[in-house]
Amino acid sequence: MKSTYFGVAYYAEYMPYDRIDTDFQLIKDAGMNVIRIAESTWSTWEPSDNVFDFTYLHKVLDAAAKYDISVIVGTPTYAIPSWLAKKYPDIMALTPEGQNIYGHRQLHDITNPNFLFHAERIIRKLMEEVANNPQVIGFQIDNETRSGNGYSPDNQKMFIEEMKKKYPDIKEFNAEFGLNYWSNSIASWDDMPDIRGTVNGSLSAAYKAFLRDKITEYHKWQADIINEYKRDDQFITHNYDFSWDGFSFGIQPLANQRDAAEATDIAGVDIYHPTQNKFDGATISFGGAIGRSLKKNNYLVLETQSQGRLDWLAYPGQLRQAYYSHLASGANGVMYWNWHSIHNSCESYWKGIISHDLIPGETYKELAFARSEELKIDEHLKDLTKNCSAAILADNRSLVGLDEFPIDDVSDESVGQDDWSPKKLTYNHILRWMYNACYKMNLETDIVYKEDVILTDPEAMAKKYPLLIVPALYSATKELIDSLRKYIEKGGNLVLGFKSLVSDEELKIYPDVLPYNMTDIIGGTYDQFTRPVDTTIKIDGREFNVSHWMELLRPQGTGEEVWGTYVHPCWDKYAAVLHNKLPFSGSVTYIGCYMQCEGLTVILKKLIRRIGLSLPEESFPIIVKSGTNTLGEKITYYFNFSSKIELISIYKDCTELISSSEYHRGDKISIGSWSVKIFVNK
């Protein structure tokens, strides 16, 4: 890379009139050096069966050459043309709610052989048109891939075949899934009922895992086709997205992104985040941690907003701040969705960089300014290597497990709710609760997966990540639990959240004391849990609200410390948080309830002091992010996520890159509202 990528999704075919030259001049003037095209234009390239028209494609590629803009080409397979759905109605996925109706994207069944035949044909035709074009630097597989949630008879047959391989003895299959409950057991594989009607959470979760695996296979299938055509200097990527809670929120439940990313050369992510008074940078940082986790390397932000939805219009300075925040998280490129505000259809008010009048306005000007400023120091900011001393384990099996067996399965949903907590507590809420607590105290964290824990030497894991935080690991194999124990034995410090180590891979609850095979190290157990009502947790003399879930922990009295107790007339004899330091090894801190983030912060800071990790003096709204660049320099970003001017202290002689100002140890400097300063140590 000569410089970081800065660009936009561009769709000439969506424009109300031809203005490609005008747009490309504006794109060039904004400092953009890359565009993404083609991923949603199948009906444009193939208006009818086996009739192809790549006129718009070549107009855009010709303009890219004229203005020296690089191009990432997406395969157009996530939005099928209407003629294809009409010709093969069974392409539309059969779901538990019935067969999907054509119109929206991603409602087709990606395993359908008729779909795959036509998808392969359009991919090959597209590759023949673009692979040798010097402006094309890479290819994007599909777009935020979904399986279509397909429960077709053929899919269910494939699922049964996989179950046969995993459980050759049908009696073992019945026992593992508990199918004798409500007479659901089967004597023959031919007796397997339609999965759409199952009441068995384990079987439902296993089928959802099967669908996630189909996405992994689908990405590899597309990558294999692309690899037949692409040059050695071109890359393959995909824009991995997130669960949605009004914006990008948690890990994606519909795909095993770590597995699917094996088909790519560089990971891409789509990060849409809150702005205005809710802009705290946490979603950008979390998305970056996911991006780094997929290939254990830098990544591309393939989509983020410029204006976007109604409540996303950024305050002045926030777009510039967001751009630097992506780079500070390890992104090697930031691309916006999309260039222009669309004049019709369902995303007309998901606004682009230029508004419906197609005239460059304040959004365009701020992005252009940020890029012109950043380009002057780009060599210091690209290829930033993050060196985090803490990691958070994210897990799809546990996510789906808590979907199938919700925490908030209560008779009275109105009781025990607090204004500060989500209405429904899901796995991703718990994950972001723990991530955000670390983020706001400026403890930078990586995201890891169970495979990373199992496959990494435990001593190496403990050295790389002295602190490992594990939220709600509901589903955990014995192998994974054994790896966590070895991590602790080799000096690692584990923070284990409530609702962890409850079930095996198939969500069968372990018939033993919980947390399974960890009570001896934790120094306690529980067999009762409830939704807190009028309950607080006391930590070091301070009280914090508790909501949604509380485990009534019973310490064993073998040396563990009680770091938190419940304040309640009936529950005050039970512990809420246990900490156990093992002789000549690491420690475990078990958190048995969901509490205010401030309470979690107190626990984490106490642990961090104990184990000797260092934190910056500053905390939110000042956010500190750092890394090492290819020049061997330590780069440190300071962000002020507030509307007030904030002061920071300088700890080493350094240069502020944007202003080229020199500072010395002991200096106090101010950071303006919604602003950033970037330092390189001397």
Distance, CA of 126 to CA of 38 (rounded, Å): 9
Neighbour tally for 661: CB within 10 Å: 13
Instruction: Show the CA angle centred on residue 91, arms to residues 90 and 97, nearest 5°.
Output: 70
* pLDDT in the model for residue 2: 85
CATH of 390-611, one of 3.40.50.880, 3.90.1150.10, 2.60.120.470, 3.30.70.980: 3.40.50.880
Contacts of 198 (CB under 8 A, 6+ apart): 184, 204, 207
User: Which residues of the chain are in CATH 3.20.20.80 domains?
Assistant: 52-233
pLDDT tens digits for range 524-533: 999 999 999 9
Pairing, β 5-9 against β 34-37: parallel
Distance, CA of 362 to CA of 519 (rounded, Å): 58
Neighbour tally for 418: CB within 10 Å: 14
Helix axes 597-611, 427-440, angle to 10 degrees: 60
* Sheet strands side by side (includes 5-9): 235-237, 136-140, 70-74, 34-37, 5-9, 331-336, 299-304, 268-271, 239-240
pLDDT above 70 covers what percent of the chain?
Answer: 100
φ, ψ at 332 (rounded to 5°) = -105, 10
**Average pLDDT, integer, range 622-636:** 97
Give the pLDDT band of residue 419 (cuts 50, 70, 90).
confident
Fold that domain 622-681 belongs to in CATH: Immunoglobulin-like (2.60.40)
Give the pLDDT band of residue 421 (cuts 50, 70, 90).
confident
Encoding tokens for residue 190? 């031919």
Claim: this prediction has a pTM higher than 0.75: yes
Neighbour tally for 368: CB within 10 Å: 19
User: Which residues of the chain are in CATH 2.60.40.1180 domains?
Assistant: 622-681
pLDDT at 385 over 90: yes
Across-strand partners of 636?
626, 679
**Average pLDDT, integer, range 652-660:** 96
Distance, CA of 196 to CA of 204 (rounded, Å): 8
User: Which residues of the chain are in CATH 3.40.50.880 domains?
Assistant: 390-611
Give the pLDDT band of residue 442 (cuts 50, 70, 90).
very high
pLDDT at 417 over 80: no
**Average pLDDT, integer, range 536-545:** 97
* pLDDT in the model for residue 420: 82
pLDDT tens digits for range 80-121: 999 999 999 999 999 999 999 999 999 999 999 999 999 999
Distance, CA of 625 to CA of 381 (rounded, Å): 12
φ, ψ at 45 (rounded to 5°) = -75, -30
pLDDT tens digits for range 147-201: 999 999 999 999 999 999 999 999 999 999 999 999 999 999 999 999 999 999 9
3-class secondary structure, 277? helix
**Average pLDDT, integer, range 453-467:** 98
Distance, CA of 104 to CA of 83 (rounded, Å): 14
Number of H helices, E strands in the chain: 20, 31
* pLDDT in the model for residue 61: 98
* pLDDT in the model for residue 624: 98
Residue 134, preceding peptide bond in cis (omega within 30° of 0): no
- Cα 12 versus chain centre, distance: 30
* pLDDT in the model for residue 359: 97
pLDDT tens digits for range 264-313: 999 999 999 999 999 999 999 999 999 999 999 999 999 999 999 999 99
CB 238 within 8 A of CB 141: yes
**Average pLDDT, integer, range 593-599:** 97
Distance, CA of 581 to CA of 585 (rounded, Å): 8
Distance, CA of 272 to CA of 253 (rounded, Å): 17
Distance, CA of 316 to CA of 318 (rounded, Å): 6
Superfamily (CATH) of domain 52-233: Glycosidases (3.20.20.80)
pLDDT above 90 covers what percent of the chain?
Answer: 97
What's the chain's Rg over C-alpha atoms? 26
CB 580 within 8 A of CB 523: yes
Strands (E), 426-582: 445-448, 467-470, 493-497, 524-525, 529-530, 536-539, 542-551, 554-555, 561-567, 575-581
Contacts of 310 (CB under 8 A, 6+ apart): 349
* pLDDT in the model for residue 493: 98
φ, ψ at 263 (rounded to 5°) = -80, -10
